[in-house]
């Protein structure tokens, strides 16, 4: 495979410039990182961007969170979905990947499946559903950045590799970094929690990356019938077995439908 020198700093500088175009989203991300911020403060900021506010309200009232139609204020919506989820929804807008343009094929289909898979599996890995959902939703940000930096080359890579560990190796071979690890660098720049960044950086191996690796494997099984399976006990570091896969896949498939409707993606 050809090697392409990826200037990670230049990619991250480009993300920095986007902050000026989505000031409310940037402020939401910044405020979410503050230990002193409360739901009322975050809701007040969100209210200045109707599209963001509507997305958070819709998510809080979705079947996914079990409160359909009962969340009537933005402050309660922030409390229901959690700060990490609000921050992730704002990051989608901040990174300019919410309009569906200039993205790899099936980007949002994959991302919503990853979010559903991580959310469903999170408690097995001692991660809350909301935090796991956020991890899955943003994991593919790096793929969007690779596509923007090398559209033709990355399209070829997608066409010749399977989703998950096979693709991570190919990305690292070509660019010196895989897509979830590039996501980690972006989220570090935006001061996301260390636990989320560590999970993305460890996607190749290790306990920190087990939830995300397993979520990618489950997503690949749902989306690609001819996917070359990797044993669940291997990708999950022994947390899950193949015997558990059918029930988990069924639950994830149901959650995907709810999340797609709630996120409008």
pLDDT in tens, 61-119: 988 888 888 999 999 999 999 999 999 999 998 888 877 667 998 999 999 999 999 99
Coil, helix or strand at residue 26: helix
Q: Give 99's DSSP letter.
A: S
Q: Name which of 115, 119, 74 is nearest 92 in CA terms.
A: 115
Which stretches within 122-202 are classed as H helix?
Answer: 129-138, 141-149, 151-160, 165-175, 179-189, 194-201
Digit-by-digit pLDDT tens for the chain (265 residues) are: 567 778 888 888 887 777 767 889 999 998 988 878 899 999 999 999 998 999 999 999 988 888 888 999 999 999 999 999 999 999 998 888 877 667 998 999 999 999 999 999 999 999 999 899 999 999 999 999 999 899 999 999 999 999 999 999 999 999 999 999 999 999 998 889 999 999 999 999 889 999 999 999 999 999 999 999 999 999 999 999 999 999 999 999 999 998 988 887 6
Coil, helix or strand at residue 4: coil
What's the count of helices (H) and strands (E) in the chain, helices before strands?
Answer: 16, 0
pTM of the predicted structure, to 2 decimals: 0.92
Cα(182)–Cα(93) distance, rounded to whole angstroms? 18
Neighbours of 194 (CB within 10 A): 10
Q: Kindly list the structural domains of the chain, giving each domain's residue range(s) and its CATH number in brackets, ordered by start.
A: 23-95 (no CATH), 100-264 (1.10.3210.10)
């Amino acid at each position: 495979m050809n090697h392409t020198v990826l200037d990670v700093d230049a990619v991250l500088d480009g993300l920095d410039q986007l902050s000026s175009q989505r000031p409310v989203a940037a402020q939401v991300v910044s405020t979410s990182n503050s230990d002193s911020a409360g739901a009322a403060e975050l809701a007040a900021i969100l209210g200045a961007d109707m599209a963001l506010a509507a997305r958070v309200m819709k998510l809080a009232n979705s079947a996914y969170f079990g409160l359909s139609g009962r969340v009537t204020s933005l402050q309660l919506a922030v409390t229901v979905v959690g700060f990490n989820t609000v921050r992730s929804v704002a990051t989608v807008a901040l990174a300019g990947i919410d309009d569906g343009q200039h993205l790899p094929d099936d980007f949002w289909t994959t991302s919503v499946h990853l979010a559903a898979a991580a959310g469903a599996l999170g408690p097995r890995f001692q991660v809350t559903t909301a935090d796991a959902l956020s991890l899955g939703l943003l994991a593919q940000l790096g793929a969007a950045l690779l596509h923007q930096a090398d559209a033709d080359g990355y399209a070829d890579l997608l066409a010749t590799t399977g989703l998950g560990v096979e693709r991570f190796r190919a990305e690292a071979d070509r660019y010196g970094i895989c897509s979830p690890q590039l996501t980690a660098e972006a989220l570090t720049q935006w001061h996301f929690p260390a636990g989320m960044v560590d999970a993305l950086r460890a996607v190749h191996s290790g306990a920190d990356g087990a939830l995300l690796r397993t979520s990618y494997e489950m997503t690949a099984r749902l989306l690609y019938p001819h996917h070359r399976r990797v044993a669940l006990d291997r990708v999950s570091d022994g947390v899950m077995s193949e015997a558990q896969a059918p029930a988990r896949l069924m639950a994830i498939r149901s959650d995907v439908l709810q999340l797609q409707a709630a996120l409008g993606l």
